[in-house]
Structure 1
Amino acid sequence: MIEKVVGGIVVALLTAVGRLLWKNRRHLALLRVLLTPRSRTRVSVAVLLRVHDEDHYVLFASVTRPGTFGPPGGVVKHHESAKPALERLGFEPERRARAEMRHDLRGFLPALRVLGFARWLQRGEGREAATECLRRELVEELGEVAHDELVPLAREAGFRLVRRVIDGPRKVPGEEYRQIRFFEVYDLVLDKPEAAELRTSLLALAVDVDESLVIGASRREMARGRAQAHVVLPQSAFLVGDRRVREDMTPVS
């Protein structure tokens, strides 16, 4: 009798685990957050643009981390209509000084809600499409690096998905929370003359010795975190693979 009861319990547990794994089969790496169910987790959702010529990748100066360079791109925004769903998930927006960061998908969640957030994100409801975000960020960042003349080209460009990366969960040095970052990396689609011209212009800026806000870096330099005298941000590694090799750097705003 006892053996039957124990066997039934084991079968029920295995069934429950199987259902959990199947339900979250696209996000198995995130199951680690269940080991610390009472903790908070910082999440962010971002897109990156890969512009390169063989082993030479274009990086822009960062506004939020002065003195550093990383891929063009930025954080995806949610729509007003998504607020009820995010509130049900316990999403707490991260407070940032810059007004343009309003509605960013960057904030804190209870650890037990991270998987639900990942499934909501996958559905694509109530938020910018990745390509919409990338075009907006590229237009904005071209102004920040003082090349507004390229903005009309960026508005006409299309993008092709290269990879999706879930970075984490990982402990943040000096903080009590863990962090998970969702990235999508895109290439320019060179089916329009505007896109081809944009790529050519960015590659030319990256090799211009008089250009201080756009640089080029190799795979090795991105892994090392330094391209000549310039500091390279860790997320640059996702331009060439799905693993980072260095810890993130804290923004100043």
Structure 2
Amino acid sequence: MRSSTELSRTRRNRVRISFSVLLRLADDDRFVLFDSPKRPGAFGPPGGVIKYFPPAVRILDALGFRPERTGAASAKLKGDLRGTLPHSALRRFRSWFASGAYRESATECLRRELCEELVEVGVHGPLGTISEVQFAAIRAVREGPHAVPGKDYRQVRGFDVHELSMTNSAARDLSRTLIEAGEDDACPGVILANFDDIAHGRAGRALIAPQSAFLAGSSRLSPDLPPLR
């Protein structure tokens, strides 16, 4: 049986990873943000964690990947590219991720997340045409590995920021509907926030999730907000 010192050393040698896609939907200097079920009262960009497909399980197992499953929402987290790896496997993981094999593309991730999140924020109109929406890459932000205050692991995260390709009516309708929702007090799950709001961390009474800063640049402006457990 391993000692507590050995267990602590093992945890310190692991790296937490999380790779997500975010949607930048702007109206002049304002960005569309959604309320987050994991951080109630905090608003961030539409989008979420990329999922991997069953053929990737063998590859990730060989890398020593342990998926993160917490709380009542653990079933929804199945397949999320969020968990821990041995530090020694990080380079091989990055190579696999860059290949795009057996995981969602940015388009697949955003379409799935939009279908889920539109229901959560009470905007149902565009659901039937989400499969027609296309996206264009803006930037890829990579963080870490770096220490996490109060945790015994280091962390690596990726945020791929995309915007709508305004090439068809589905994209134009989605953009218009969400901007109107952000201006409508009767739709509290969607807000519009400008960069000053994001930098301050609040828009009125709403907290702004720190990843919102990546809609405007590659720099984080504030620390993470803790999720529900």
TM-score by length of 1: 0.83
CA deviations 1:134-183 (Å, max 9, x no partner) are 10001110000011222123222111111111022232221111111111
2:53 match: 79
Q: Percent identity between the aligned chains?
A: 44
Q: In the alignment, is residue 134 of structure 1 matched against residue 110 of structure 2?
A: yes
Q: How many residues align?
A: 218
Instruction: Tell me if structure 1 keeps the 8 A contact 2:122–2:187.
Output: no
2:180 match: 204
- The residue type equivalent to 1:151 in the other structure is L
Match of 1:101, SS state, is coil
1:233 match: 209
User: Distance in 2 between the 1:130 and 1:87 partners?
Assistant: 23
Cα deviation for residue 247 of structure 1 reads 1.1
- The residue type equivalent to 1:225 in the other structure is G
Match of 1:85, SS state, is helix
Instruction: Tell me if structure 1 keeps the 8 A contact 2:12–2:152.
Output: no
1:157 match: 133
Gap regions ≥5 residues in structure 1: 1-36
Gap regions ≥5 residues in structure 2: 1-10
User: Distance in 2 between the 1:56 and 1:153 partners?
Assistant: 24
1:61 match: 35
Q: In the alignment, is residue 90 of structure 1 matched against residue 83 of structure 2?
A: no
Instruction: Tell me if structure 2 keeps the 8 A contact 1:153–1:197.
Output: no
CA RMSD of aligned residues (A): 1.6
Match of 1:250, SS state, is coil
Instruction: Tell me if structure 2 keeps the 8 A contact 1:75–1:106.
Output: yes
User: Distance in 2 between the 1:115 and 1:66 partners?
Assistant: 35
Cα deviation for residue 96 of structure 1 reads 2.5
Instruction: Tell me if structure 2 keeps the 8 A contact 1:49–1:185.
Output: yes
Which residue, out of 7, 11, 15, partners 1:41? 15
Which of the pair has more CA radius of gyration? Answer: 1
Alignment of 1:146-185 (within 5 A): 146-185=122-161
Instruction: Tell me if structure 1 keeps the 8 A contact 2:21–2:50.
Output: yes
User: Distance in 1 between the 2:12 and 2:86 partners?
Assistant: 7
Cα deviation for residue 38 of structure 1 reads 6.0
- The residue type equivalent to 2:18 in the other structure is S
Q: In the alignment, is residue 109 of structure 1 matched against residue 85 of structure 2?
A: yes
1:190 match: 166
Change (3 A) 1:236 1:167: same
Instruction: Tell me if structure 1 keeps the 8 A contact 2:118–2:127.
Output: yes
Cα deviation for residue 46 of structure 1 reads 0.5
Cα deviation for residue 104 of structure 1 reads 0.5
Q: Which has the higher helix share?
A: 1
Instruction: Tell me if structure 2 keeps the 8 A contact 1:139–1:155.
Output: no
User: Distance in 2 between the 1:153 and 1:214 partners?
Assistant: 19
Match of 2:213, SS state, is helix
User: Distance in 2 between the 1:109 and 1:224 partners?
Assistant: 34
- The residue type equivalent to 2:25 in the other structure is V
Instruction: Tell me if structure 1 keeps the 8 A contact 2:121–2:187.
Output: no
Q: Which has the higher strand share?
A: 2
Instruction: Tell me if structure 2 keeps the 8 A contact 1:42–1:106.
Output: yes
2:197 match: 221
Cα deviation for residue 130 of structure 1 reads 1.4
TM-score by length of 2: 0.91
